[in-house]
Chains A and B, each alone.
Chain A
């Protein structure tokens, strides 16, 4: 097949195709940590995060991304977690954020320090 160079090309879509993302990882996460469904996106966790001040770590955004099947970048940012527990104190929905972070790392990054047990 000959590909002609017109000097321009079709633009890729920037949209998140939510109906095409069936993500077993998120299902597994919900089964293990039903708390993840409680998030109302207020940003309290990110506001007090020790890590967020110096890195891209943003638990609120990560939870949202996971639920939309967009996990690649956001899960990596969680590796900056200090496990200090401040987010746990302020969450208005009482999510066990500290435990949630460890579970996300275990499900989404097995083999990168995340134990599979």
Chain B
């Protein structure tokens, strides 16, 4: 592979990311799967990087899951988007940051649809006014939460407590990335580095001392597929897609997987358990999975957050081997303590793949 070729693409596919004053909206599912991710994201941006990021309690889902399951039509979904924008406008912000990759794709789709068809925008404004007497301005910029961390990656790198390196050997960790489909496949120019060779995650990995590894099925979907996963009998099909990805990355012996999409992080993590119990195969060596980190968790580890404050105990695949490699201190006894210090329920321990 010619690295210069990829660098050329990265230099040509940069996108403008505002430096401060953001309006933040959460993901429906990230808070349930990995509840600390978004909280720590705000802590990192505010506390560690000293930026202004605002979150309004009245914001809702973007309607993406219902839209992708064909439960609501696009016009309804766009009206929800209009309401989100109206809260941003009322709060005095114009830089919109969303935590969810699917939301990001759909916000881009809505903005693009309105640009091409002003009559649809007018209709959305009318519906929004009819339903809740709100008005909105189009955001000056729309970025995904990972774009922001990408933008600030060198600041985070400069403040790094732990690099993405093996603490014993000093070797960079080998990291594979998985970028959510809706991040750039729908609108390639909206993604850092484009859709074929996205730089958003590999840029972070490199800035924090790791080595980004390409693998053949890097561009394949994680297998969530909305209505596919939501119907239980279809899940075999979802896990087949994840299986294909894991098979493709296994020969490269990655130390961890980094993702920027709520669903992808969840499925790449949880399906390893399912695959282990269906095929008795584990991808990180005997009894070990490949840990999966969201970009917030990776940034948190680099900045020295306690792994349990980052919610890493919510992962199916054990992260302890990775923490040991990086030299991140942790107290196994505190793994299953809540933020109030009281014990939270412990998971049943699977027999084939290690979860702690």
Classify A-B as touching or not with yes or no (CB < 8 A): yes
- Chain A residues engaging chain B, CB cutoff 8 angstroms: 50-51, 53-55, 79-86, 88-89, 98, 102, 105-106, 113-115, 117
Query: Given A50-B241, A98-B186, A115-B70: A82 and B105 within 8 A (CB)?
Result: no
Contact A85 B185 (CB under 8 A): yes
B69 within 8 A of A: yes
Contact A89 B221 (CB under 8 A): no
Q: Given the complex, which residues of B lie within 8 Å of A81, measured CB to CB?
A: 225
**Interface residue from B70, B188, B195 paired with A114 (Cβ < 8 Å):** B70
- Chain B residues engaging chain A, CB cutoff 8 angstroms: 68-76, 105, 181-182, 185-186, 188, 195, 219-221, 223-228, 237, 240-241, 244
Q: Given the complex, which residues of B lie within 8 Å of A113, measured CB to CB?
A: 69-71, 227
A-B contact pairs, 19 of them (CB 8 A): A50-B223, A50-B241, A51-B237, A53-B241, A53-B244, A80-B237, A82-B181, A82-B223, A82-B226, A84-B182, A84-B185, A85-B181, A86-B185, A88-B186, A89-B195, A113-B227, A117-B72, A117-B73, A117-B75
**Interface residue from A79, A84, A105 paired with B181 (Cβ < 8 Å):** A84
Q: Given the complex, which residues of A lie within 8 Å of B70, measured CB to CB?
A: 102, 105-106, 113-115
Contact B240 A83 (CB under 8 A): no
**Interface residue from A80, A85, A106, A117 paired with B182 (Cβ < 8 Å):** A85
Contact A84 B237 (CB under 8 A): no
Shortest C-beta distance, A10 to chain B (Å), equals: 40
Shortest C-beta distance, A97 to chain B (Å), equals: 11
CB-CB nearest in chain B for A55: B237
**Interface residue from B74, B182, B188, B223 paired with A89 (Cβ < 8 Å):** B188
Shortest C-beta distance, B114 to chain A (Å), equals: 15
Contact B225 A50 (CB under 8 A): yes
Contact A51 B240 (CB under 8 A): no
Q: In the bound complex, how far is the Cα of B340 from the Cα of A46, in angstroms? A: 51
CB-CB nearest in chain B for A48: B219
Query: Given A53-B244, A89-B185: A83 and B225 within 8 A (CB)?
Result: yes
Q: Given the complex, which residues of A lie within 8 Å of B224, measured CB to CB?
A: 82
Q: In the bound complex, how far is the Cα of B216 from the Cα of A25, in angstroms? A: 40
CB-CB nearest in chain A for B234: A80
CB-CB nearest in chain B for A50: B221
Shortest C-beta distance, B191 to chain A (Å), equals: 11
CB-CB nearest in chain B for A105: B70
Q: In the bound complex, how far is the Cα of B77 from the Cα of A93, in angstroms? A: 27
